[in-house]
Chain A
């Protein structure tokens, strides 16, 4: 049995920032990162485009550069790293079972655990697209790894389903790698991707984007030969009969959503939010099992890695504090969501805290000129007008933690 003070599961952006902050907060503690890949950095390794770090580092970096800013801090820090190590099981009393070629089957007793496993892509199976099962259907992230890291081009003529940022980025990457992108189809009437990516990935490369469209059939035997694309009714999201159109292609890339990877979390009996598919946490990102914290995309899917780093810093520091001081006591206020707010993180807050308290949230639709309001009973703790809010962009509000005396409600109100 190995013993560590803080065990961080996952060596992507969340795990790196959490481990570094835990060690900073308590240099005497033994901190361990467990990573299943051969290298640290997580998905940032394959995100070779730029646009990362504008908030956290105040400069524009590519994914690998952003990751390296954290990886280089490990040198001489005393933080231990096991790569090529897969965690199999986590228990309520913070025992971690893992396996690796180098260490064999290992059991680790952890003073505190930080969950930082990230998320995975929704696949064709999750969408139930009818048709044959030919080769040539990839998730966008899988194709991204093949092109950017392994040096393979998945195909020559491409349709992308979904206009989230990964889909947009991959439409450009495929074009820049010599393929032709015939279409990006988006089920919704808007894109959840950044304007910047719509312009610089699609418009710059003359790639058509069709809203209210989806793939209804997959054709081909050995290899994909084409897809049927149909327009959907904007109200019901069901295909409109007669609008079907066959598009010849050898590759379909799916960018249709991300799901936090919480098998270990659920195995430990931690409560999961049905909306975020991540753990329910307090302001220090502690789950409902004492001493187990969560941060990054395993907690809720972020659109900016900068926010992941910030959240991981909170969780890492809290994990080190927990090992030193034990659990936090005191009354707890629930953070409820009202009109227009799909979810807020954290979902609960200790009353009477100190310093600033950040609440992250997403709206459930595109809104212009609405007010964000945070109420506690009859009291209005925050009331701020926002020009625009969209489901694709995470919002943040900051209040004085000392103002939290009872349950909170976050909602939108007319301007």
Chain B
């Protein structure tokens, strides 16, 4: 049996949840609504985040371009995703939505530009 304490982030209530895993069964306590139940289970079994950062741009008017993972990636992969972004470069011009790194860190999720960057 494994118990984890966490704060639900879905609304300003910020319920303190106690999520307990007992074999296949997961019990969520402290939530005030059904969404909190779902959040507790998700956070315990497969927490995911959108990762945002900036990537170096070669030949651009600005040195960096903001980027994000196009969808959520496992929380445990965040360090690898950030490392992959830091290790690469984009070439200007960059268009908002353009894929700059496909399947980043083997997550199956692409890194896309979140702004336009003109060439010099």
Contact = CB atoms under 8 A, between A and B. Distances in A.
A233 interface: no
Contact of B114 (A65, A147, A390, A393): A65
Contacts of A249: none
A149 B7 contact: no
B114 A62 contact: yes
Interface string B51-75: 0111010000011101110000001
A195 B115 CA distance: 27
A50 B54 contact: no
A393 B78 CA distance: 29
Q: Which of A64, A151, A393 has the most chain B CB atoms closer than 10 A to its own CB?
A: A64
B62 A49 contact: no
B52 A195 contact: no
A151 B115 contact: no
B49 interface: yes
A48 B53 CA distance: 7
B68 to A, nearest CB: 6
Given A62-B66, A64-B115, A176 B53 contact: yes
A199 interface: yes
B66 A48 contact: yes
B98 to A, nearest CB: 13
Given A148-B66, A151-B63, A387-B13, A49 B52 contact: yes
A196 interface: yes
A176 B53 CA distance: 8
B9 interface: yes
Given A64-B114, A194-B9, 9 more contacts: A45-B115, A48-B52, A48-B54, A48-B68, A64-B115, A195-B12, A195-B14, A198-B7, A390-B12
Q: Nearest 7 pairs between A and B by C-beta? A: A64-B115, A48-B66, A196-B9, A195-B14, A62-B114, A151-B63, A195-B9
